[in-house]
Structure 1
């Protein structure tokens, strides 16, 4: 179901998504560390849950630190809508699939203002094993298929900023 108005938002875990671009308009992408080497669709943009006591923007800033070890970014845009995806049957992603039908995400576009050396995946609870700057096509070809429609919506929402 792609129409958010027809979804019961309580069934979807509230999350944020982060598109981070560098000065060349390349997009940050990272390889999940919970998937085996060589497994397809292991790359994604950072994302994470929104805690009960925080706004989506606060969650975005916290997730930057938790996932990529830096907050050297400037906010360019926040998507106006929530983007939804369903967990596929059989997925047991950190137990969330047992409690929710999927995730609803508020996406943020940030420009990276630091240097590559400022990105540090060796955080307290590492979620990624590698990272790189890529193109829209790189990301679309490597994201897990059940998130693909959200990524397409995010790229459409941020198109005027990507050049």
Structure 2
């Protein structure tokens, strides 16, 4: 085992991030269960985040976003609103490097999608998501203002969430001015 990992030589894991907006222009956030944290980080901070997950080899990013959304929240009733114009990156903190993300990655490179939630809230099930075929990653959920999400995420993802908030800043107004 190497004594010191070189962050610069480690790759990013390709992933998707999903912002689901309700009719009031608020975004879905879930409270992460610590034992399901793929970063395996001891990083202290608020456990709230939007759904996210890995892109399987050969998988289209939009299809990955829809799959991950269903696997984490049970949500399938959505309509695509936007895709962030560029990949958004975050790095794991030093104490999680070589441990989090199975020790293979320095962080994540995420493709972010914004969706309108078109279903009934009864569809949302974070405890037995994907019809119970997937383990729960969240133990609670709520709707929140997109602009507040950078303050609710773990600190090492804050810059990424600020970029997501900028990329989708116009979306909440689409709902409030209909």
Q: Which of the five TM-score ranges fits, normalised by the shorter chain? A: 0.7 to 0.9
Matched, 1:147 2:157: yes
* Match runs of 1:105-144 below 5 Å: 105-121=110-126, 122-123=128-129, 124-144=134-154
Partner of 1:74: 79
> CA 1:93/1:78 → structure 2, altered by over 3 Å: closer, same or farther?
farther
Quote how far apart the aligned CAs of 1:144 are.
Answer: 0.5
CA RMSD, 1 decimal? 2.3
In structure 1, what is the equivalent of residue 32 of structure 2? 32
Query: Are the aligned partners of 1:91 and 1:97 in contact in 2 as well (CA < 8 Å)?
Result: no
Runs of at least 4 residues off by over 6 Å: none
Counterpart-to-counterpart distance in 2, 1:78 and 1:111 = 12
After superposition, what is the alpha-carbon deviation per residue over 1:85-109, rounded to whole angstroms, capped at 9, x for unaligned? 1011122798415101110000000
- 5+ residue gaps, structure 1, are 1-7
Given that residues 150 and 159 in structure 2 are in contact (C-alpha distance below 8 angstroms), is that contact kept between their aligned partners in structure 1?
no
Q: Is 1:89 aligned to residue 99 of structure 2?
A: no
Whole-Å separation in 2 of the counterparts to 1:73 and 1:82? 22
SS of the equivalent of 1:23 reads: coil
Verify the 8 A CA contact 1:9 1:104 in the aligned structure 2.
Answer: no
Q: Which residue of 2 aligns with 1:59?
A: 64
Residue aligned with 1:51, SS = coil
Inter-partner Cα distance in structure 2 for 1:93 and 1:30: 26
Aligned to 1:47: 52
